């Protein structure tokens, strides 16, 4: 096989994988899911899903990738289970679908950065006309896909790892800075209270599966992104601790993003947390006016800074989303990397067109489907978000845990983990991972998948 490249250091891998995890999911989606799901109560369920269900699946994905040094589809065959390669194929398709709409939102973020630099604070109240201006958001989307493509085409250590090493520390410093700043604004405490004091009366089934979907989405699990990144890791690395760092970085940044966001929202609403804007518009509609009230000059700086930060976060995620189908085309179809990258990016951009036009421009895609029992139709982008993130990622996690526990088997998983972690055998971590992969993940992920599909579509 042609040289596939690899990460040059353990830190490089952890930063790249954390870069994949930390993205729009943490800064754009997490706060509005928290808002819709009753504040802190949602956060608690989300954290449980991350540590009990998602963390063990992450270890399994990295182990499969590292053992086989292949893309998700090829990995299952390389282990000798060709029948299971459908799980990898499903994951790759899911990744392509997510990237197709994720890039649209990333384009909005980048577009907002440009608007903020020019001091266009009124953009928040014009969100609707911004996202339906297809020529404009289409160009921003194209530019964003171009940045992603440039990084991925430079390969693993020279592109993905290098970008993560620059972007991740910058991102963390930016979020921490903004979180501290926002805590000194008037009404900040009301926002913090909403975020940190749980209201359990808001919890229902749909909140639970959004929390689960969010955990898988935010940790980039269930579609083979970490099988792919794992395939570029050397055998000496300790998968268990690397996965712990990645999970902690992701959860930590989501929590920090909440600390930054809710004071801003409270400030904007004069402390009223009952009627906060929720949904995709939360940060795009609310924040520009917050930045405006900070003052004309400082507002431009803070506002541009925020949307640049959001674009950076999105970029390390789009890079990982693109790498999954690219690694497949390179490994399985022997296409040269650069060619594969540009080709796949173009296809994904085209698949993203319904998401691009489904925010007001096209009547059909903006009112794509009406769920059972819902009074309003759902747009195409939200719909495929539900299908891919909330349904297929947990399904992928379910299949991966079944595969590892009952097909590939514990002995092989352990052997792979032990290659970089000698004292794993017999440790409490071993028992915990084994129990979770064998029982908790299959039961909870399987039943939630079925109930989600039944609840939404039947």
Q: Is 231 in the site for ligand PHE (CB under 6 A)?
A: no
| Among the residue ranges 121-129, 167-175, 216-224, 276-284, the one whose residues contact ligand PHE (CB under 6 A) | 216-224
Q: Which residues pair with 238 in a beta bridge?
A: none
| Among the residue ranges 58-66, 137-145, 220-228, 359-367, the one whose residues contact ligand PHE (CB under 6 A) | 220-228
Using alpha carbons, select from 278, 295, 298 the residue that is nearest to residue 286.
278
Q: DSSP states of 60-71 as a string? A: HHHHHHHHHTS-
Burial of 196 per CB tally in 10 Å (0-12, 13-18, 19+): middle
Query: Is the separation of the CB atoms in 252 and 246 below 8 Å?
Result: no
Q: Is 228 in the site for ligand PHE (CB under 6 A)?
A: no
Query: Could you tell me how many residues of this chain bind ligand PHE (CB under 6 A)?
Result: 15
How many whole angstroms separate alpha carbon 50 and alpha carbon 41? Answer: 15
How many whole angstroms separate alpha carbon 213 and alpha carbon 207? Answer: 10
| Among the residue ranges 104-112, 116-124, 177-185, 212-220, the one whose residues contact ligand PHE (CB under 6 A) | 212-220
**In the set 217, 229, 307, 312, which binds ligand PHE (CB under 6 A)?**
217
Q: Smallest gap, in angstroms, from Cβ of residue 311 to ligand PHE?
A: 12
Cβ partners under 8 Å of residue 156, min gap 6? 4, 5, 6, 7, 232
Residue nearest to ligand PHE (CB): 25
Cα 314 versus chain centre, distance: 8
Query: Is the separation of the CB atoms in 109 and 310 below 8 Å?
Result: yes
Q: Is 20 in the site for ligand PHE (CB under 6 A)?
A: yes
Helix axes 55-68, 393-402, angle to 10 degrees: 70
| Closer by beta carbon to ligand PHE, 137 or else 171 | 171
**How many Cα atoms are found within 13 Å in the side-chain-facing hemisphere of 57?**
33
**In the set 5, 12, 23, 213, which binds ligand PHE (CB under 6 A)?**
23
Q: Smallest gap, in angstroms, from Cβ of residue 210 to ligand PHE?
A: 14
| Among the residue ranges 10-18, 20-28, 371-379, 407-415, the one whose residues contact ligand PHE (CB under 6 A) | 20-28
Cβ partners under 8 Å of residue 139, min gap 6? none
Q: Smallest gap, in angstroms, from Cβ of residue 300 to ligand PHE?
A: 26
Using alpha carbons, select from 453, 444, 438 the residue that is nearest to residue 406.
438
Q: Smallest gap, in angstroms, from Cβ of residue 266 to ligand PHE?
A: 24
Question: Binding string, 83-122, against ligand PHE, x = CB under 6 A?
Answer: ---------------x------------------------
Q: Smallest gap, in angstroms, from Cβ of residue 95 to ligand PHE?
A: 6
Question: Binding string, 312-341, against ligand PHE, x = CB under 6 A?
Answer: -----x--xx--------------------
Q: Is 366 in the site for ligand PHE (CB under 6 A)?
A: no
| Closer by beta carbon to ligand PHE, 20 or else 247 | 20
Using alpha carbons, select from 215, 221, 234 the residue that is nearest to residue 58.
221
| Closer by beta carbon to ligand PHE, 23 or else 258 | 23
| Closer by beta carbon to ligand PHE, 33 or else 115 | 33
Using alpha carbons, select from 12, 94, 18, 10 the residue that is nearest to residue 58.
18
| Closer by beta carbon to ligand PHE, 250 or else 292 | 250
Q: DSSP states of 433-444 as a string? A: HHHIIIIIHHHH
Q: Where are the beta strands (DSSP E) in 220-322?
A: none
Q: Smallest gap, in angstroms, from Cβ of residue 102 to ligand PHE?
A: 7
Dihedral Cα 48, 52, 53, 59, nearest 10 deg = 130
**In the set 78, 109, 211, 225, which binds ligand PHE (CB under 6 A)?**
225
| Closer by beta carbon to ligand PHE, 217 or else 424 | 217
Q: Is 39 in the site for ligand PHE (CB under 6 A)?
A: no
Q: Is 71 in the site for ligand PHE (CB under 6 A)?
A: no
**How many Cα atoms are found within 13 Å in the side-chain-facing hemisphere of 410?**
13
**In the set 14, 24, 290, 341, which binds ligand PHE (CB under 6 A)?**
24
Q: DSSP states of 179-191 as a string? A: HHHHHTSTTHHHH
Using alpha carbons, select from 414, 449, 445, 407 the residue that is nearest to residue 432.
414
| Among the residue ranges 33-41, 193-201, 217-225, 325-333, the one whose residues contact ligand PHE (CB under 6 A) | 217-225
Q: Is 220 in the site for ligand PHE (CB under 6 A)?
A: yes
Residue 350, token pair as written in the block: 């085209």
**In the set 25, 258, 288, 397, which binds ligand PHE (CB under 6 A)?**
25
Dihedral Cα 439, 443, 444, 449, nearest 10 deg = 140
**In the set 16, 26, 41, 108, which binds ligand PHE (CB under 6 A)?**
26
| Closer by beta carbon to ligand PHE, 188 or else 243 | 243
How many whole angstroms separate alpha carbon 279 and alpha carbon 296? Answer: 27
Interface ranges with ligand PHE (CB under 6 A) = 20-21, 23-26, 98, 217-218, 220, 223, 225, 317, 320-321
């Amino acid at each position: 096989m042609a040289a596939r490249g690899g990460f040059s250091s353990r830190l490089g891998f952890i930063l790249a994988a954390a870069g994949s995890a930390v993205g729009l999911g943490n800064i754009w989606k997490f706060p509005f899911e928290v808002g819709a799901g009753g504040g802190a109560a949602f956060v608690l369920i989300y954290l449980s899903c991350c540590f009990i269900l998602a963390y063990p699946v992450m270890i399994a994905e990295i182990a499969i990738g590292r053992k086989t040094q292949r893309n998700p589809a090829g990995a299952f065959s390389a282990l000798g289970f060709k029948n299971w390669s459908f799980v990898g194929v499903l994951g790759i398709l899911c990744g392509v679908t997510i990237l197709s709409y994720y890039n649209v939102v990333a384009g909005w973020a980048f577009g907002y950065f440009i608007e903020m630099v020019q001091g266009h604070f009124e953009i928040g109240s014009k969100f609707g006309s911004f996202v339906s201006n297809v020529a404009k958001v289409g160009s921003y989307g194209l530019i964003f896909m171009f940045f992603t493509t440039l990084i991925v085409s430079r390969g693993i250590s020279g592109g993905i790892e290098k970008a993560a090493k620059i972007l991740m520390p910058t991102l963390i410093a930016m979020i921490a800075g903004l979180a501290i700043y926002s805590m000194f604004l008037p009404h900040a405490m009301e926002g913090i209270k909403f975020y940190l004091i749980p209201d359990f009366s808001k919890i229902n089934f749909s909140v639970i599966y959004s929390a689960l979907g969010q955990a898988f989405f935010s940790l980039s699990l269930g579609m083979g992104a970490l099988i792919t990144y794992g395939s570029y890791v050397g055998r000496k690395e300790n998968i268990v601790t690397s996965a712990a760092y990645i999970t902690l970085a992701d959860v930590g940044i989501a929590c920090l993003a909440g600390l930054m966001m809710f004071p801003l929202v409270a400030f904007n609403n004069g402390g009223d947390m009952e009627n906060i804007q929720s949904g995709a518009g939360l940060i795009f509609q609310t924040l520009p006016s917050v930045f405006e009230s900070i003052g004309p000059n400082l507002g431009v700086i803070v506002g541009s800074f925020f949307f640049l930060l959001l674009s950076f976060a999105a970029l390390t995620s789009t890079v990982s989303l693109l790498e999954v189908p690219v690694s497949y085309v390179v490994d399985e179809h022997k296409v040269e990397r650069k060619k594969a990258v540009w080709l796949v990016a173009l296809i994904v951009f085209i698949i993203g067109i319904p998401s691009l036009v489904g925010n007001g421009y096209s009547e059909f895609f903006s009112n794509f489907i009406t769920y059972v029992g819902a009074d309003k139709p759902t747009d195409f982008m939200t719909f495929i978000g539900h299908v891919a993130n909330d349904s297929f990622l947990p399904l992928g996690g379910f299949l991966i845990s079944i595969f590892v526990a009952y097909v590939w088997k514990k002995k092989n998983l352990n052997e792979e983990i032990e290659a970089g972690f000698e004292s794993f055998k017999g440790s409490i971590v071993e028992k915990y991972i084994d129990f979770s992969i064998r029982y908790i993940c299959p039961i909870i992920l399987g039943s939630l998948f079925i109930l989600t599909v039944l609840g939404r579509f039947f």
